[in-house]
């Protein structure tokens, strides 16, 4: 495989940075050790978190690619990051839930841990200055953020990804409570982009309900890197 030339930094977010490569259609993503919560209100550097998230995310995207889900992921580059296809991110967070938790429990007064009779999906508008407000299909279309066809495709893919991911984590003794996805536009159509990791999923131990995700940091429950290492160990088993 040809060595990857890593060029200029194009974008830096809270947990990742994106770099140009020698190929204009390809980017490199590097994962940072920063952890943030509450839209950046709580911050910390957690040694090892970036590498753990990259390794977990690369395994998940490899599984999804093999299952036929269109994703931006090309391959893992080890400590250099991840090689991905360039895509234009649709500014929506797509949240899929199997069990009530977090903002869903708070908004609807449903106890955390209550099973939902079917998976749900909701959108948030990706805008830090606005605090990523929840947004519905009509708003999305009225604001021209995505078309009918794109929304139908992202919803279809999101529920399919939920089935694949839930089974994947179940084998590792983990319950997939909820997760956040982002999609991008590529010349070949919509593709899953961004990351899937314990930063973007709620994962509970199947037996004990112990949290093995970013809630450990958000709620000050202890050793975040230890929890992420346990997720990696279980999906590698
Ligand atoms: N999530 C995320 N990024 C966000 C907001 C949510 O990755 O900016 C994930 C979060 O980790 C959880 C799911 O989406 O797995 C649902 O989060 P929720 O709406 O319950 O929000 P929270 O309680 O985290 O504020």
pLDDT in tens, 42-69: 899 999 999 999 999 999 999 999 999 9
The whole-chain average pLDDT of the chain stands at 97
What does the alpha-carbon distance between residue 157 and residue 92 come to, in Å, rounded to a whole number? Answer: 14
* pLDDT in the model for residue 145: 98
* pLDDT in the model for residue 72: 98
Residue from 213, 221, 218 nearest 49 by CA:
213
Overall fold of domain 6-85? Phosphorylase Kinase; domain 1 (3.30.200)
pLDDT band at 40 (very low <50, low <70, confident <90, very high): confident
What does the alpha-carbon distance between residue 179 and residue 212 come to, in Å, rounded to a whole number? Answer: 13
Distance 158 CA to ligand 1 centre (A): 15
What ligand 1 atom has the least distance to the C-alpha of 178? 15
Question: Considering the entire predicted model, what is its pTM?
Answer: 0.97
pLDDT in tens, 160-210: 999 999 999 999 999 999 999 999 999 999 999 999 999 999 999 999 999
Distance 167 CA to ligand 1 centre (A): 20
Overall fold of domain 88-223? D-amino Acid Aminotransferase; Chain A, domain 1 (3.30.470)
CB-defined site of ligand 1, < 6 Å: 93, 95, 101-104, 132, 178-180, 200-202, 214
Lowest mean pLDDT of 3-7, 73-77, 78-82, 100-104, name the range: 3-7
Contacts for 34-39: CB closer than 8 Å, 24+ residues apart: 35/199, 35/214, 35/217, 35/224, 37/214, 37/217, 37/218, 38/218, 39/128, 39/131, 39/132
* pLDDT in the model for residue 171: 98
Domain residue extents for the chain = 6-85, 88-223
Distance 211 CA to ligand 1 centre (A): 14
Tell me how far the alpha carbon of residue 42 is from its chain's centroid.
Answer: 19
Topology match between the domains 6-85 and 88-223 = no
What percent of the chain shows pLDDT beyond 70?
A: 100
Residue nearest to atom 5 of ligand 1 (CA): 180
Residue nearest to atom 23 of ligand 1 (CA): 102
């Amino acid at each position: 495989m040809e060595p990857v030339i890593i060029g200029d930094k194009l974008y830096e977010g809270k947990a990742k940075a994106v770099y140009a490569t020698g190929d204009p259609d390809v980017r490199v993503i590097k994962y940072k050790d920063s952890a943030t919560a509450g839209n950046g209100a709580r911050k910390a550097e957690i040694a090892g978190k970036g590498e753990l998230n990259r390794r977990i995310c690369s395994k998940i995207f490899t599984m999804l690619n093999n299952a036929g889900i269109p994703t931006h992921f090309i391959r893992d580059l080890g400590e250099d990051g991840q090689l991905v296809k360039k895509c234009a991110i649709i500014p929506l967070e797509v949240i899929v839930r199997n069990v009530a938790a977090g903002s869903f429990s708070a908004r609807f007064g449903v106890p955390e841990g209550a099973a939902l009779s079917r998976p749900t999906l909701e959108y948030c508008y990706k805008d830090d200055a606005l605090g990523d407000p929840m947004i519905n299909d009509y708003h999305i279309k009225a604001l021209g953020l995505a078309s009918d066809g794109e929304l139908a495709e992202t919803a279809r893919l999101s529920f399919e990804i939920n089935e694949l991911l839930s089974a994947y984590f179940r084998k590792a003794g983990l319950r997939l409570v909820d997760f956040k996805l982002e999609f991008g536009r590529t010349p070949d159509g919509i593709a899953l982009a961004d990351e899937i990791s314990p930063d973007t999923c709620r994962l509970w131990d199947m037996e004990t309900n112990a949290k093995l995700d970013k809630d450990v940091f958000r709620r000050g429950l202890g050793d975040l890197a230890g929890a992420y290492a346990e997720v990696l160990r279980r999906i590698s088993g």
